[in-house]
């Protein structure tokens, strides 16, 4: 592998193209993390509720999306939209791969975050629940004002680790045409008939993102440990 070939492929324009793809990967991961957190928190609350129907819905949701491959979920969501709109609404819907991908990853992530939220909520001392019920707080008031603020401190480290996983999972969206980091490397590979340089550059960019976030996570964990 000559230096001239590397310079030919990794031009400022191509590096900018790949950095833009890395930005899309980060943006997709952030949106998926936020959406998955909302779904996970709602599903965790449903799992711990006294209503059987809510527990059943939450269990079914988790079993389906934890028991099937994320890539399959992305493909089904991306392909089902146009078919359903054509069949029932008689118009052709063109799905946005970025939006569909972020939604699919968020739904999948929410199924895993459900158990994360449930574990940290259950880790809060039971006396907090009893005290809240004693002063007349409802289940949802107790969750909002008493339990969740305490659980939030415990959930931050695994939350950041989940973010790292989602950055890597965003590479799956290359299969539906989203030009994130991996897809940008694939495009460069086809343009220059060389896979080693673009894929190595993409790997380095993934490593930079994940290692940086991992260091942030360790710093947060140390601060939380010191404040306990």
Alpha-carbon distance of 88 to 25, in angstroms, equals: 33
pLDDT in the model for residue 105: 97
| Alpha-carbon gap, residue 202 to 124, rounded angstroms | 41
User: How many whole angstroms separate alpha carbon 99 and alpha carbon 93?
Assistant: 13
Contacts (Cβ under 8 Å, ≥6 apart) of 144: none
CA 179, chain centre distance (Å): 17
112 pLDDT higher than 90: yes
From the list 100, 105, 97, the residue with the least C-alpha distance to 167 is 105
113-165 pLDDT, tens digit each: 998 888 888 877 777 777 887 888 877 788 777 877 777 777 887 888 899 99
Spatial contact of 105 and 170, defined as CB atoms under 8 Å apart: yes
Residue 69: per-residue pLDDT: 95
Residue 226 scores a pLDDT above 80? no
Domain positions in the chain: 3-227
Full DSSP string of 117-154: HHHHHHHS-HHHHHHHHHTT--HHHHIIIIIHHHHHHH
Cβ-Cβ contacts under 8 Å for 150 (sequence gap 6 or more): 124, 128
pLDDT digits 0-9 by tens, 1-58:
577 777 788 899 999 999 999 999 999 999 999 999 999 989 998 998 888 999 999 9
Burial class (CB in 10 A: 0-12, 13-18, 19+), 193: exposed
Residue written as tokens 């989203």? Answer: 178
How far is 52 from 49, CA to CA, in rounded Å? 8
Q: Would you say 66 and 139 are in contact if contact means Cβ atoms under 8 Å apart?
A: no
Q: What is the CATH topology of the domain spanning 3-227?
A: MetI-like fold (1.10.3720)
Q: Which residues contact 42 (CB under 8 A, 6 or more apart)?
A: none
DSSP letter for 172, please: G
Instruction: Name the band, by pLDDT with cuts 50, 70 and 90, for residue 73.
Output: very high
Q: How confident is the model at residue 225 (pLDDT cuts 50, 70, 90)?
A: low
Average pLDDT score over the chain: 88
Query: Which residue, 165, 166, 198, 163, is CA-closest to 183?
Result: 198
pLDDT score for 1 = 59
**What is the predicted pLDDT for the residue at 176?**
93
Residue 31 is encoded by which pair of tokens? 């949106």
State the Cα–Cα distance between residues 175 and 155, nearest whole angstrom.
32
């Amino acid at each position: 592998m000559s230096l001239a070939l590397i310079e030919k492929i990794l031009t400022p324009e191509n590096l900018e193209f790949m950095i833009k793809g890395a930005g899309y990967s980060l943006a997709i991961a952030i949106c998926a993390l936020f959406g998955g957190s909302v779904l996970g928190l709602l599903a965790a609350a449903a799992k711990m509720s006294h209503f059987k129907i809510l527990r059943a819905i939450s269990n079914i949701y988790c079993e389906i999306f934890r028991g099937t491959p994320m890539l399959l979920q992305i493909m089904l969501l991306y392909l089902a939209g146009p078919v359903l709109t054509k069949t029932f609404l008689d118009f052709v819907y063109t799905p946005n791969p970025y939006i569909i991908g972020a939604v699919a990853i968020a739904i999948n992530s929410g199924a895993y975050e459900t158990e994360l939220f449930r574990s940290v909520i259950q880790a809060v001392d039971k006396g907090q629940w009893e005290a809240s019920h004693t002063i007349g707080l409802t289940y949802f008031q107790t969750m909002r004002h008493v339990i969740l603020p305490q659980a939030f401190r415990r959930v931050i480290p695994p939350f950041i680790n989940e973010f790292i996983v989602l950055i890597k999972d965003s590479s799956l969206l290359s299969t539906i045409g989203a030009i994130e980091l991996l897809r940008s490397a694939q495009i460069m590979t086809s343009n220059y008939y060389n896979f080693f340089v673009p894929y190595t550059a993409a790997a380095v960019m993934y490593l930079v993102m994940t290692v940086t976030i991992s260091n942030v996570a360790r710093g947060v964990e140390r601060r939380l440990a010191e404040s306990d």
